[in-house]
């Protein structure tokens, strides 16, 4: 039993002597787009003599883990993924436990989680440390838009959006004078707009890399007339006026004809009756002795002669 305890003690001592540790001093590394980023990684090992199997490896963890670089500890040979050729380097001394890398000319594709691993053959172990690389991109110039009709009583939305930005931009609104409605990160709602809503609006997009803004002027107008409807109303009104005018004209013409007929009839009745004069009256008329008031002279009928032959 004593010998077994001694064996266990020696094994633990040897394991402690040959223990390998790998650390990532920074769990989140932030760097601006197009700049350089240093991903720090350190390791400790009591093994002095390096063997061909001793290696530092960097992996980018995504849907599929991709080894982007490795470095052999026995001869310093470095291998790189083609996407990082010319952009990745090992700046530190690996023999002193520095496994850090530098990625230059950062792009948005470099965002992600990276794993630093060290394998020491003599210790038959592999240790890994993870860290996050966050590429910072200032917000692009936001685009401000007005959605809705700028007419009395309408509801409109003011929108603001930056196409780029890492981390994701946050948005804030500043307005001058108008009454503002509920706000959301990229949208400002204005309800039942009127002349009081007219004003100047500014949207600010910001993140840890910088900020940008856009602005717009809102001018509320009276309701616009529907020109098609307006034209129909005018056309209908003109047609109605023409019809009424024709009706009035026809009535006037009819009344005028009736008046002429009545006047002709009255003139006919007002004429003096024709007086038929006898021979005596005709003679007196010719000599100037006739008067319409004269009583016609009555003459007895002539006597027939007895000698007349029948």
Q: Bridge-partner residues for 202, per DSSP? A: 174, 215
| Region 289-297 average pLDDT | 53
Determine how β-strand 78-80 pairs with β-strand 88-89.
unpaired
What pLDDT score was predicted for residue 13? 43
**What pLDDT, on a 0 to 100 scale, did the predictor assign at position 123?**
77
Instruction: State the average pLDDT over residues 209-214.
Output: 92
pLDDT, position 234:
73
pLDDT confidence tier of residue 191, bands split at 50, 70 and 90? confident
Which residues share a beta bridge with 134? 30
CATH class belonging to 143-218: mainly beta
Residues 6+ apart with CB under 8 A from 36: 102, 103, 104, 105, 106
pLDDT of residue 16: 45
Tell me which residue of 66, 76, 69 sits closest to 39, measured CA to CA.
Answer: 69
Q: Does residue 67 register a pLDDT over 90?
A: yes
CATH of domain 18-136: 2.60.40.10
Tens digit of each residue's pLDDT (9 = 90 or more) over 258-284: 565 555 555 555 555 555 555 555 555
Residue percentage of the chain with pLDDT more than 90: 37
Q: Quick one: pLDDT at residue 148?
A: 92
- Reported pTM: 0.57
Q: What share of the chain is helix, strand, coil (3-state, %, to 5)?
A: 25, 35, 40
**Is pLDDT at 201 greater than 70 in this prediction?**
yes
pLDDT for 181 beyond 50: yes
Which has the higher per-residue pLDDT, 33 or 185? Answer: 33
Helix count and strand count (H, E) for the chain? 3, 18
Structure tokens at 175: 């307005």
Please tell me if the domain spanning 18-136 has the same topology as the one spanning 143-218: yes
Q: How far is CA 83 from CA 16, 86, 175, 289, in A?
A: 39, 9, 47, 149
Quick check: 159 pLDDT over 90?
yes
Mean pLDDT across 2-9:
48
Given a cut of 70, whether residue 182 has pLDDT beyond it is: no
Sign of CA dihedral 238, 242, 245, 251: negative
Q: Please check the confidence at residue 289 and state whether its pLDDT lies above 80.
A: no
CA 140 distance to own-chain centroid: 19
**Percentage of the chain lying above the pLDDT 70 cut:** 70
Task: Determine the average pLDDT of the residues in 71-76.
Answer: 90
Confidence of residue 5 (pLDDT cuts 50, 70, 90): very low
Q: How far apart are CA 274 and CA 47, in angstroms?
A: 164
pLDDT in tens, 27-64: 999 999 999 999 999 999 888 778 888 999 999 998 78
pLDDT at residue 184 tops 80: no
Q: What integer best gives the mean pLDDT of the chain?
A: 78
> Closest Cα to residue 136, out of 170, 163, 105, 165?
165
Q: What is the pLDDT of residue 162?
A: 95
Q: Where are the domains of the chain?
A: 18-136, 143-218
226 against 60, higher pLDDT? 60
Q: Do the beta carbons of residue 139 and residue 212 sit within 8 Å?
A: yes
* The two three-digit tokens of residue 52, written as one number: 């061909």
Q: How confident is the model at residue 132 (pLDDT cuts 50, 70, 90)?
A: very high
Q: Are 186 and 144 in contact (CB under 8 A)?
A: no
């Amino acid at each position: 039993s004593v010998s077994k305890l001694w064996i266990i003690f020696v094994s633990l001592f040897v394991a402690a002597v040959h223990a390998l540790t790998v650390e990532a001093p920074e769990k989140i590394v932030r760097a601006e787009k197009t700049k350089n980023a240093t991903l720090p990684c350190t390791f400790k090992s009591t093994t002095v003599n390096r063997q061909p199997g001793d290696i530092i490896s960097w992996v980018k963890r995504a849907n599929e883990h991709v080894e982007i670089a490795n470095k052999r500890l026995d001869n310093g040979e470095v291998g790189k993924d083609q996407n990082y050729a010319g952009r990745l380097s090992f700046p530190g001394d690996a023999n002193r436990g520095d496994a850090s890398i530098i990625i230059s000319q950062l792009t948005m594709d470099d965002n992600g989680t990276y794993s630093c691993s060290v394998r020491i053959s003599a210790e038959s172990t592999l240790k890994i440390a993870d860290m996050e690389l966050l590429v910072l991109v200032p917000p692009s110039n936001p685009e401000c838009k007005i959605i809705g009709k700028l007419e009395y009583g309408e509801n409109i939305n003011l929108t603001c959006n930056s196409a780029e930005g890492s981390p994701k931009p946050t948005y804030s609104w500043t307005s001058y004078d108008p009454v503002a409605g509920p706000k959301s990160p990229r949208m400002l709602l204005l309800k039942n707009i009127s002349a009081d809503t007219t004003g100047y609006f500014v949207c600010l997009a910001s993140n840890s890399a910088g900020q940008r803004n856009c602005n717009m002027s809102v001018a509320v107008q009276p309701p616009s007339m529907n020109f098609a409807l307006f034209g129909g109303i005018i056309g209908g009104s003109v047609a109605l006026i023409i019809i009424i005018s024709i009706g009035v004209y026809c009535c006037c013409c009819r009344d005028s004809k009736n008046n002429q007929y009545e006047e002709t009839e009255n003139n006919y009745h007002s004429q003096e009756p024709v007086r038929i004069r006898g021979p005596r009256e005709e003679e007196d008329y010719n000599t100037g002795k006739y008067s319409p008031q004269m009583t016609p002279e009555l003459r007895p009928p002539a006597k027939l002669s007895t000698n007349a032959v029948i």
